[in-house]
């Protein structure tokens, strides 16, 4: 008489479909673990790039949502395309590590992950994981020349709008460039308050919002995409208005202290409310069922 002993979880795991993924995850952690540690100690400590850590958490969550589907996909690798993407990603990573350029270090991640998915499972895996891979873009620091070129005009526009609005509400306010004078206080509109970095982080928020809502109508999605930057711009205006009012009514220390950080939370909240409001309005004007996002139950 023969008997078949039930396999243990370890027996099913070792040599199973999960093993190649574990190997890749171990290699990815060895490559990018030091990059994340360095970013946590430096880059992500600044106001301009503080969203990077949150983006990493979101990416981990996005991949976790679809990890079982990725593992269960039939293996139909695309070796040539996969090797090219993976090799290019490794090259960019090595150059970034040697030269110490964070844009290259972070920018190599979507190439490495996309290449690995093509090598292990093929194009179907790439189609399934397209959004988490795309989301790596929001971890990449923006080039300095681009920030300088765009942030200057943004600050000018936001400063002018804030002064115009508050002046018509009766506040003693004026501006010279990006220097706002309200009552006896002078405020410099800083890059962190109304620059490209805040627009970048809010774009990450808006993109994630769209992915989670997963609206089926192309027109709905197109209008939401087009609204991301205007909503981010409006949220920055609200933030600067709050800082000006705090400074005018409570003093300079309040404006530059704890309430300054609170205004940053307001920035995200205003943008999120804007996304929800527009999405709800479009859902009523353009009725249609929501498509389930990958990994959703």
Tell me how far apart the alpha carbons of residues 217 and 230 are, in angstroms, rounded to a whole number. Answer: 21
Please, are residues 88 and 180 in contact by the beta-carbon 8 Å criterion? no
Among residues 121, 175, 193, 215, which one is catalytic? 193
Catalytic residue, candidates 121, 175, 215, 239? 239
What distance in Å separates the CA atoms of residue 86 and residue 104, rounded to the nearest whole number? 14
Q: How far apart are CA 123 and CA 78, in angstroms?
A: 7
Asked about 215 being catalytic, the answer comes back as: no
Q: How far apart, in Å, do the first and last CA atoms of the chain sit?
A: 43
Residue whose tokens read 């949150």:
54
Between CA 192 and CA 236 the distance in angstroms is 10
17 is catalytic: no
Helix 109-120 with 79-99: angle, nearest 10 deg: 150
Residue with tokens 């396999």: 7
Say whether 292 sits in a helix, a strand or coil.
Answer: coil
Return the active site residues: 193, 239
């Amino acid at each position: 008489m023969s008997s078949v002993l039930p396999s243990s979880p370890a027996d099913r795991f070792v040599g199973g479909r999960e093993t190649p993924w574990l190997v890749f995850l171990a290699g990815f952690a060895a490559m990018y673990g030091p990059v994340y540690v360095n970013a946590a100690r430096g880059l992500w400590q600044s106001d301009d790039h503080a969203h990077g850590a949150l983006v990493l958490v979101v990416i981990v969550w996005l991949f976790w949502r679809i990890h079982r589907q990725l593992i269960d996909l039939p293996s139909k690798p695309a070796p040539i395309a996969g090797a090219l993407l993976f090799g290019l990603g490794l090259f960019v990573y090595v150059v970034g590590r040697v030269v110490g350029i964070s844009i290259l270090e972070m920018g190599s991640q979507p190439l490495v992950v996309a290449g690995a998915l093509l090598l292990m499972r093929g194009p179907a895996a790439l189609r399934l994981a397209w959004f988490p891979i795309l989301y790596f873009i929001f971890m990449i620091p923006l080039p300095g020349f681009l920030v300088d070129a765009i942030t200057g005009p943004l600050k000018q526009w936001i400063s002018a709008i804030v002064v115009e609005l508050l002046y018509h509400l009766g506040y003693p306010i004026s501006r010279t460039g990006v220097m706002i004078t309200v009552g006896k206080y002078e405020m410099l509109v800083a890059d962190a308050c109304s620059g490209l970095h805040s627009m970048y982080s809010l774009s990450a928020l808006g993109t994630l919002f769209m992915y989670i809502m997963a609206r089926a109508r192309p027109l709905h999605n197109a209008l939401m995409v087009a609204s991301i930057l205007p909503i981010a711009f409006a949220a920055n205006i609200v933030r600067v208005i709050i800082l000006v009012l705090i400074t005018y009514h409570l003093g300079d220390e309040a404006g530059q202290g704890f309430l300054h950080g609170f205004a940053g939370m307001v920035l995200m909240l205003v943008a999120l409310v804007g996304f929800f409001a527009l999405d709800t309005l479009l859902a009523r004007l353009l009725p249609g069922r929501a498509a389930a996002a990958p990994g959703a139950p």
